[in-house]
Structure 1
Amino acid sequence: MSQAPASLEARESFIGGRGWTLGILTSIYLVNFIDRQILPILLPQVKAEFGLSDSALGLLVGPTFALFYATMGLPLALLADRVDRRRLIAVSLALFSAMTMVCGLVTQFWQLAVARVLTGVGEAGTGPASQTMITDMYPPQKRARAQAVYATGANLGVLVAFAAGGAIAQAWGWRTAFIVAGLPGLVLTVILLTTVRNPARGAHDGRAAQAGAVPLGTVMRQLWRSRAFRWTAFGACTTCFTAYSLSSFFPLFLSRSHGMSTREIGLAMALLIGVCGGLATYFAGHLADRLGRRDRRWYSWVPALAALAPLPLAPICFLAPDTGLALAAAVVPLSLTAAFIGPTITLIQQLVPVRSRATAVATLILIDNIVGLGLGPQFVGIASDLLTPSLGTDALRYALLAATGGSVVSFVGFFMAARHMRAEVEQQEADASASNG
């Protein structure tokens, strides 16, 4: 009998602890990416039903979602620096989950576009708030790994979106896939509100959070003066350009160039981005934390190497006539699409004061998504349409190959960021210590 209270106390501690909270936030990011990335696996069916061009598909996957997701992220991040982040995440989660279900009920293309816009608005409220909560729960030497665990939600979300979404779409149609995809988020909303606490800001930084949040103009000036931030943002947004281009159009490429079925494509994408990508994303954060203890520049060097590694395999992946060879060559390019997230988010939050972190993350997300998600898929769609008269069904191969050029640019950005980040982080820490003193 005496063990019951201790058991109950341990269970409550687990449920309210940082491991539980990290798990719930990662699950929210997972359903975020289910709702975001389920559309690419459904593109062949959506294209057939509405009679769309590749350019229109690029618009639907890219700018329709990205512009509102990116621009709404900044004002919602300002809220996250000022209000209860848990409640903000809950409202945002409920909105984008409901809008995903609405996508399955539309009857016209413009209605689907509007539903995707509102999905983007909802998803904008979860990322910066979640990432700053994680930073407040973990000491600096464990943050990149914790952020990488959170980032694996993207890979796992893609796994579920492609594997389950492809199977459901093939069996019951693309509308049912959207409706099923929206349900888990509504359940998670209830779990979040009833089991997760809002952590104290700056608890592991050796300094107290400011009494009030920093004004937007002040944060923007801080970020603009930071060479480390500018180069990191440059590297991250060009990485996103390639990553979103590949994840959005690779399913259509497998269907068009290799004749794979929706179910086969879903399984292939689940393994490439979900399983292999999840492992790569976690390992990148773990590696950055481990090597960063000796030299902080590894928080930039790890994303630089992740951008460089896929380049030799890209031509084989997109130009090989054999399906097995193309898929084997795709393992590295597709598995490293999110490897930059853990190290990069950890670095960005070290460059600003505690109560500016959500705004700094949202600024990075704004840049990443306007360039990456907004322009990447649209670039591939337009390039494919322009090349079709001369290349036919092979046009998409070369459009995707061209999009991998973003990785070359991102390597330069991360490499240059490493030249400035160590000095700037040390200066920020010194300023915070002087302020406390």
Structure 2
Amino acid sequence: MSSPTPDAAPIKGRYLALFALIVVYTFNFLDRQIISILKDPIAQELGLSDTQLGLMGGLAFALLYTTLAIPVAWLADRTSRVWIMTTALAVWSGFTALCGLAHNFTHLFIARMGVGVGEAGGVAPAYSLIADYFPPKQRAKALAIYSFGIPVGSAAGVLFGGLLAAKVDWRFAFIAIGLAGILIAPLFRLMVKDPPRGRYDATAGKPLGFIAACRLAFAKPTFWLLSFGAACSSMVSYGFMYWLPTFLSRSLHLDLVSRSWFLAALLFIGGVAGMALGGVLGDKLGQKSKRAYPLIPCVAFVISVPLYALGVLATTAETAFALFLLPQALGLMWLGPVLTAVQHLGPGHSRTMISSLFLLINNLIGIAVGTWFFGAASDYLKPLYGDASIKYAFLAGLSFYVMAAILLFFASLRIRRDWVD
């Protein structure tokens, strides 16, 4: 066992590395979320139902994204995390470009699976890199700043995707954004270096394999409560953001360009504010009590439910935006605190594997089930409510925020016993 080095000199270039990681994460979500703003023109051209759109946006991406993350994490704990992320960026960007060449549901489904294959190597290695660049007392803030890639990438995806589709067509939007990611990949490799593993941690040793990591996770109830709590919240956040353009079109009658600006502003302003606040509160309150890490998002989700419900029932775009803004911020406050807690549920030398297990649960349920649920619920309710069915699907889906809050509350009761310094 080696001694931790909490007072070690900061690794040179760690903020440059963090910036590069944010850029890659931005492209991660740009390529992931562009489908949300483009799905309506795609559906019109290819004749797709809401259920098919939900499968294309969720299951097609999440199926291989979540399962391949496990072997990629095993590899990242033993080889260069930077090379893995570089390759991943090039692969998912290439498949994003291929989405623009699809001519039916099957072609587009396969291309979206390819995006998921690439993105399987884009997140867990980054969590591990950040944990080795920043000491424990700064990790919640660093991970929250890294997570800015989610609102920035999501906003850029819907804005540029929508504007390019309105100016040219949806195919051009996929191709242009995919090629941009391919050009970024070699620059990322030049900017980021692999830091020493576990330099700030009390334990060091041989990386855990998949079975050993599962055994470790099974022994820690906090891991499962955090994972399924985050997954329930992701069902709402991914589902809402994927289907919100449809709601804006059918219920508020906004055109493609107006929907793009509405959603981009909501994602950027609410997302950045929520993640920044979650990171600051996580670092500040988490130093006083470990229970704060799950309790911060727990409270945020409870407050979000009535505000989202009021926004869904709004009759004007201005009212809906004002009501959606705060819950959008609150709904993303979990990232800094929860991701920090997950990093401390296992030894430092196997963080990538622990993170990948967390992402497997969070994304398989959140992305695959979340986007499908809202689409299937909309189709189910359409005979009763017509074009307003997506509105009532949203209201039903808010129950998952309540479930998330309950699971995170129970995680707060156990987290001290499962924490690894």
The yes-or-no answer on 1:113 pairing with 2:109 is yes
Partner of 1:56: 52
Partner of 1:17: 13
Amino acid at match of 1:54: D
Partner of 1:215: 209
- The change in CA–CA distance for 1:16 and 1:87 in structure 2 (over 3 A counts) is farther
SS for the counterpart of 1:280 is helix
Partner of 2:177: 181
Superposition misfits of 4+ residues, deviation over 4 angstroms: none
**Deviation sequence 1:321-344 (CA, Å, 0-9, x none):** 233222211112323343211211
1:280 maps to which of 270, 274, 288: 274
Partner of 2:83: 87
The yes-or-no answer on 1:170 pairing with 2:166 is yes
Which structure 1 residue ranges, 5 or more long, are not aligned?
A: 1-13, 430-437
The yes-or-no answer on 1:329 pairing with 2:357 is no
State how many pairs are aligned: 413
Partner of 1:402: 396
SS for the counterpart of 2:147 is helix
The yes-or-no answer on 1:141 pairing with 2:140 is no
SS for the counterpart of 1:347 is helix
**Deviation sequence 1:153-209 (CA, Å, 0-9, x none):** 0110011111111111111111111112113322221112112110111111244x3
2:355 maps to which of 356, 361, 370: 361
Task: After TM superposition, list the pairs within 5 Å mapping 1:196-215 onto structure 2.
Answer: 196-207=192-203, 209-210=204-205, 212-215=206-209
Partner of 2:409: 415
d(CA) in 1 for partners of 2:127, 2:70 = 14
SS for the counterpart of 2:251 is helix
The yes-or-no answer on 1:234 pairing with 2:228 is yes
**Deviation sequence 1:223-243 (CA, Å, 0-9, x none):** 011011111112111011111
Amino acid at match of 2:88: S
- CA contact 1:16–1:195 (8 Å) conserved in 2: no
SS for the counterpart of 1:199 is coil
**Deviation sequence 1:112-133 (CA, Å, 0-9, x none):** 1100001001001010000100
Partner of 2:188: 192
**Alignment RMSD (CA, Å):** 1.5
Partner of 1:10: none
- CA contact 1:309–1:332 (8 Å) conserved in 2: no
**Deviation sequence 1:240-277 (CA, Å, 0-9, x none):** 11111101100111011111011111111111111221
SS for the counterpart of 2:173 is helix
TM-score (ref. length: structure 2)? 0.95
Amino acid at match of 1:62: G
d(CA) in 1 for partners of 2:180, 2:288 = 41
- CA contact 1:16–1:197 (8 Å) conserved in 2: no
2:43 maps to which of 39, 42, 47: 47
d(CA) in 2 for partners of 1:388, 1:348 = 40
Amino acid at match of 1:335: A
Which structure 2 residue ranges, 5 or more long, are not aligned?
A: 1-9
Amino acid at match of 1:301: L
- The change in CA–CA distance for 1:37 and 1:15 in structure 2 (over 3 A counts) is farther
d(CA) in 1 for partners of 2:276, 2:317 = 28
Partner of 1:9: none
Q: Which moved more, 1:195-204 or 1:313-322?
A: 313-322
**Deviation sequence 1:349-396 (CA, Å, 0-9, x none):** 101011221111111111111111111111111111111111111111
- CA contact 1:94–1:186 (8 Å) conserved in 2: yes
SS for the counterpart of 1:258 is coil
SS for the counterpart of 1:125 is coil
- The change in CA–CA distance for 1:15 and 1:347 in structure 2 (over 3 A counts) is closer
- The change in CA–CA distance for 1:66 and 1:356 in structure 2 (over 3 A counts) is same
- Identical amino acids, percent of aligned pairs: 34
- CA contact 2:140–2:282 (8 Å) conserved in 1: yes
d(CA) in 2 for partners of 1:340, 1:133 = 20
Whichever of the two has the greater Rg, that structure is 1
- CA contact 1:67–1:369 (8 Å) conserved in 2: no
Shift, 1:91, TM fit: 0.7
